[in-house]
Amino acid sequence: MWADTFATQFDAQRAERIGALCRLDLPVVAPDLDDPALADRLAGVEVLVTSWGAPALTAERLDRMPKLRAVFHGAGTIRGLVTQDFWERGIVITSAAEANAIPVAEFAYAQIVLAGKRAQYLARVPRQFRNGWRGQLHSDRYTNYGRRIGIVGFSRIGRRVVAKLQQLDPAEVLVYDPYADPDAVARAGARLVGLDDVLRSVDVLSLHAPLLPETIGMIGARELALLRDGATVVNTARGALVDTDALTHECASGRLDAILDVTEPEPLPEDSPLYDLPNVSITPHISGSLGTETLRLTDAALDELERWLNGDALTSQVTMADLGVAA
């Protein structure tokens, strides 16, 4: 992992814990597995604990680690880490994606609630109308009462958002996910319907689908046109799920609002109209774990490492088949 990632994710307590679980040699952290100076060290490595900044585990790199048996990833997706050669060697890998889902779901829920009051945009009003801003509030759009919210992707994050949305009373939650179990969605307090049914009826659309070949651009011009006037698109998943040009067109017309923690591309070009539209809120991909939240990811990885060492069942192992339907 990157050195600054290690400094954030391994405080004294967690550095002591991993030292108690494994035999550590120097250097403890390496951002570059191709460094010739690491050759002797890598030859004896049995376990990697990885996070942001870890390079792809290609055949060439794996050849330098013939004893490698397991990888415990202290971050979310492992897509950039694993390769076909990795899977063919039968190495165990786990991910802290479930732990990373916690702050993303918290952030998404907060943005959905704020979207009900259009708070992200109305925050600018007192600056523009310092003596008469209350006159801007005469609209039935500013409410969370009786909202209908659409969730695309009953993923580990989507499920958490659905659970949090039960706090809104009354509110109806619709879910689109071709792989979800209708009974599981119902038990969570939502209703599983088709994508077009979600789009035609919701006030807020929140995206939580993984980025797969079939999900790229899944919310395009046709889908956005189905949303009712005044609806808000919240994206904390991946920017490429949405057609950026189509979203720009809808937001520039004033018909839709957007709350974007991710974009495509990321960052947007400097001349993107989305930056200056008053009904668009853009944050710099902050919904995932930041600061002390990353310690939760470290704990998740070390918990799995400890289970593996003890011969206990792992709780977050990822297989090649899992990557067909998950981030």
Secondary structure letter of residue 72 according to DSSP:
E
Residue with tokens 């004893």: 67
220 near 163, Cβ under 8 Å? no
Give CA angle at 145 (144, 146), nearest 5°: 115
Q: Helix crossing, 293-310 with 97-116: angle to 10°?
A: 150
Residue 87 near residue 321, CB atoms below 8 Å: no
**How far is residue 136's CA from residue 129's CA, in Å, rounded to a whole number?**
9
DSSP 220: -
Provide the annotated active-site residues.
Answer: 238, 266, 285
Q: Taking a C-beta distance cutoff of 8 angstroms, is the pair 66, 45 a contact?
A: no
Strands 204-207 and 47-50: unpaired
Burial 21-36 (b: 16+ CB within 10 A, else e): beeeeeeebbeebeee
Distances 158 to 142, 170, 304 between C-alpha atoms, Å = 24, 19, 24
For 293, counting Cβ atoms within 10 Å of its Cβ (0-12 exposed, 13-18 middle, 19+ buried), the class is middle
Residue among 4, 10, 5, 94 nearest 298 (CA): 10
For residue 128 the two structure tokens come to: 């523009």
Burial grade of 211 (CB within 10 A; 0-12, 13-18, 19 or more): middle
For residue 90, the tally of other CB atoms under 10 A from its CB is: 7
